């Protein structure tokens, strides 16, 4: 599972930024979610919070593992979070402008993450990973192909 993972220093800068912005955006989302609902009169929605933590953690984990399909998974997660925040910003911008400002920062992190996921360097990196995962890591290429089933 971890044999084809490149070290952080060996990744192209666009891929590093995409993974970094994705992790920062999801961490900001978890922090905002926790602080926002901590004092909620309806109580803290633990199940919903754990779902968000699970989804975000898996997206970050698979991006860090550099799976070829993780780019699309990250983009879909970012799009869903973006729409979620648009709704929240629409509800809070008049009554709680500071809260809306924090949400805008988190939205900008998700937008930056998506931008760097689809920048030229990242697109080429994930395309090569998809077409031939051993091309980036020739030392991990098997010597002989296994039996076909």
- pLDDT, one tens digit per residue, over 122-140 is 888 877 776 665 554 555 5
Residue 55 lies in a domain: yes
Tokens 């360097």, located at residue? 121
Residue 93 lies in a domain: yes
Residue 3 lies in a domain: no
Low-confidence ranges of the chain (pLDDT < 70): 1-5, 130-149
At 112 the pLDDT is 94
At 96 the pLDDT is 78
The pTM (predicted TM-score) of the whole model is: 0.77
Mean pLDDT of the chain: 81
What lies within 8 Å, CB to CB, of 39 at 6+ separation is none
Residue 31 lies in a domain: yes
Tally of domains in the chain:
1
**CA 105 – CA 25 distance, rounded (Å):** 9
Residue 148 lies in a domain: no
The pLDDT tens digits of the residues spanning 19-43 come to 999 999 999 998 888 887 777 777 7
What single DSSP character describes residue 148? Answer: P
Residue 7 lies in a domain: no
Domain span holding position 75: 12-139
3 state SS for 80-128: HHHHHHHHHHHHHCCCCHHHHHHHHHHHHHHHHHHHHHCCHHHHHHHHH
At 139 the pLDDT is 52
Q: How many residues does the chain have?
A: 149
Residue 45 lies in a domain: yes
Residue 146 lies in a domain: no
Which tokens sit at 48?
Answer: 């919903």
**CA 89 – CA 94 distance, rounded (Å):** 9
């Amino acid at each position: 599972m971890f044999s084809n993972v490149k070290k952080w220093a060996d990744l192209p800068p666009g891929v590093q930024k995409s993974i970094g912005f994705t992790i920062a955006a999801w961490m900001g989302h978890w922090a905002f979610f926790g602080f926002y609902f901590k004092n909620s009169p309806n109580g803290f929605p633990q199940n919903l919070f754990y779902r968000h933590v699970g989804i975000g953690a898996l997206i970050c984990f698979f991006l860090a593992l550099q799976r070829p399909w993780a780019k699309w998974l990250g983009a879909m997660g970012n799009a869903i979070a973006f729409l979620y925040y648009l709704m929240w910003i629409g509800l809070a911008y008049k009554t709680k402008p500071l809260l809306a400002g924090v949400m805008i920062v988190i939205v900008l992190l998700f937008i930056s993450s998506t931008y760097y996921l689809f920048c030229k360097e990242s697109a080429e990196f994930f395309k090569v990973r998809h077409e031939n995962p051993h091309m980036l890591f020739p030392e991990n290429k098997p010597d002989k192909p296994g039996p076909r089933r």
